[in-house]
A and B are shown apart, each in its own frame.
Chain A
Amino acid sequence: EAGVAQSPRYKIIEKRQSVAFWCNPISGHATLYWYQQILGQGPKLLIQFQNNGVVDDSQLPKDRFSAERLKGVDSTLKIQPAKLEDSAVYLCASSLESAGELFFGEGSRLTVL
């Protein structure tokens, strides 16, 4: 069974530039999560999708972050414009149901200079 795929693995940009991350969840998983993990902190949920609907985006900085999950499968997370404090690992995870075990991708490490 293929796991959760994410790209790019690494990205270095300058502040005020834009960046987009892509995630392909495990086939059949209805729930998709985007997490931000800053060094020394626990994962912070940015957005949770159930199929193609948003169920929780309360911690998504909506002035600069956006995410979509068209057709309830792949998802993209965009940051525009990036700030220095956005430097983090962005993890995508999926689960069969909203309370089930999470399967994580390898993450996308963003460095904002």
Chain B
Amino acid sequence: ILNVEQSPQSLHVQEGDSTNFTCSFPSSNFYALHWYRWETAKSPEALFVMTLNGDEKKKGRISATLNTKEGYSYLYIKGSQPEDSATYLCASHNAGNNRKLIWGLGTSLAVNP
């Protein structure tokens, strides 16, 4: 694939549910995979920057895994809270002179109290 694809496009869950999203990216010339959270009326905030195949990173209730050989990353949220409601964006850096970021369209998460 040449683009970064995210699924699902949107998701509605109940408070306390655990959820996960997928990011698919070009596996050739891979350099780094970024996850960002973008809350309404705020600026996007970095969650993780991952580079190593098989890497797993965790920040509180949020974790992410990376498979660079097959070109996918999963983002997991354990015990979703209303404050987790946001758009989750992933972006892939390809190797090259300027390592251009390719962005997905995001997964919009709504957590109902």
Which residues from chain A sit less than 8 Å from chain B, CB to CB? Answer: 3-4, 40-45, 48, 50, 55-56, 91, 93, 98-107
Contacts and interface: CB of A to CB of B under 8 A. Distances in A.
Contact of B31 (A55, A99, A103): A99
A105 B43 CA distance: 6
B62 interface: no
Main SS of chain A's interface residues?
loop
Interface of B: 4, 31-32, 34, 36, 42-46, 49, 89, 93, 97-101, 103-106
Contact of A104 (B43, B93, B101, B103): B43
Given A99-B93, A103-B46, 6 more contacts: A3-B43, A4-B43, A56-B100, A98-B98, A104-B43, A104-B45
Given A42-B89, A42-B104, A42-B106, A98 B43 contact: no
A41 B97 CA distance: 26
B105 A106 contact: no
B99 A99 contact: yes
Contacts of A98: 98-99
Closest 7 pairs between A and B when the two form their complex, measured CB to CB: A42-B103, A104-B43, A99-B99, A55-B98, A42-B105, A101-B46, A104-B44
